[in-house]
Amino acid sequence: MCFFRALRVYPNQMELLLIYQRVVPEPILKIVQEMWAYEVGMNNSTQEESIEGSPTKQKESSRSGAPSEASSQEWENLTDPGRPAA
């Protein structure tokens, strides 16, 4: 776990993986590589989900519907509070 955590925060992960290949026992290295592959896969799927659910996408989908007629009807029925009703 310590090797994996170090890999997550190291500025150049590929460089650190090469160092690990030289100094870390093979069974440990395989575990770290599997954890890294899982982490990278999770980040890619999370990024795709966040792009699909981005505010820009949500705005576009909300604009695609017809404008509400109720809002324009309500606007026409508004009166000036300082003016007596007719």
Task: Please report the pLDDT score of residue 60 as a whole number.
Answer: 47
What residue spans of the chain are helical by DSSP H?
2-9, 13-23, 26-52, 55-63, 69-77
Q: State the pLDDT at residue 52.
A: 61
**What does the pLDDT average to over 60-67?**
47
CB distance 79 to 85 below 8 Å: yes
**Could you tell me the pTM of the whole model?**
0.50
How far is it, in rounded angstroms, from Cα 80 to Cα 1? 68
Model pLDDT, residue 65? 46
Instruction: Report pLDDT digits (tens) over 41-56.
Output: 887 777 666 666 655 5
Provide the percentage of residues in the chain whose pLDDT is more than 70: 52
Which residues, at least 6 apart from 7, have a Cβ–Cβ distance to it below 8 Å? 13, 16, 17, 20, 32, 36
